[in-house]
Amino acid sequence: MNDSPAGLAAWILEKWRSWADSGGNLDERVSRDFLLTTVTLYWVTQTITSSMRDYFDNDNPRFRIPLGPQEFVEVPTGIAVFANNFVDEGTPPREWAERLYNVSRWTPMARGGHFAPVEEPELLARDIVGFFAGL
């Protein structure tokens, strides 16, 4: 994708259109200036490949660290579950998160998709403030 700005733009815009809570109309959720700035940043810095590295590593058995039943993250954890993420399987069960994390705040959000901090910044900011206020 680093060899064609049009290809890069098409790929990024398809992800935003598909993964955002936009109902297919991305212009209602995100400005074109923001999207063009995002595409430009990836193009100028040639960083689209490294931005995908985490997805590769998470799906690669060589980099997976198996967690045993005794493993548990004691640090208080807040989870905001946005209603329209692109995950086909539906909403993750809270019980699954609680097997590994000390879930002290679980907030179902009525709106928002994969890019929730851009789509619903006020909802997310209020939830983060609420999480830290409760500690």
65-112 pLDDT per residue, tens: 777 778 899 999 999 999 887 766 678 899 999 999 999 999 999 999
Partnered with residue 39 across adjacent β-strands are: none
Same domain flag for 48 and 79: no
Same domain flag for 96 and 119: yes
Same domain flag for 125 and 80: yes
Give the residue-averaged pLDDT of 28-39: 95
What pLDDT is attached to residue 38?
97
Q: Is residue 35, in this structure, part of any structural domain at all?
A: yes
Q: Is residue 33, in this structure, part of any structural domain at all?
A: yes
Same domain flag for 12 and 51: yes
Contact in structure between 53 and 82 (CB atoms under 8 Å): no
Which long-range CB contacts under 8 A does 39-46 form with residues at least 24 apart?
A: 39/5, 39/8, 39/9, 39/12, 39/13, 42/8, 42/12, 43/2, 43/5, 43/8, 46/2
Same domain flag for 52 and 104: no
Q: Is residue 68, in this structure, part of any structural domain at all?
A: no
Burial of 42 (0-12, 13-18, 19+ CB in 10 A): buried
Q: What's the domain range around 91?
A: 73-133
Q: How far, in Å, CA of 25 to CA of 28, rounded?
A: 6
Q: Is residue 129, in this structure, part of any structural domain at all?
A: yes
Same domain flag for 59 and 80: no
Tell which wins on pLDDT, 40 or 64.
Answer: 40
Q: Is residue 117, in this structure, part of any structural domain at all?
A: yes
Same domain flag for 80 and 125: yes
- Number of CB atoms found within 10 A of residue 60's CB: 9
The total number of structural domains in the chain stands at 2
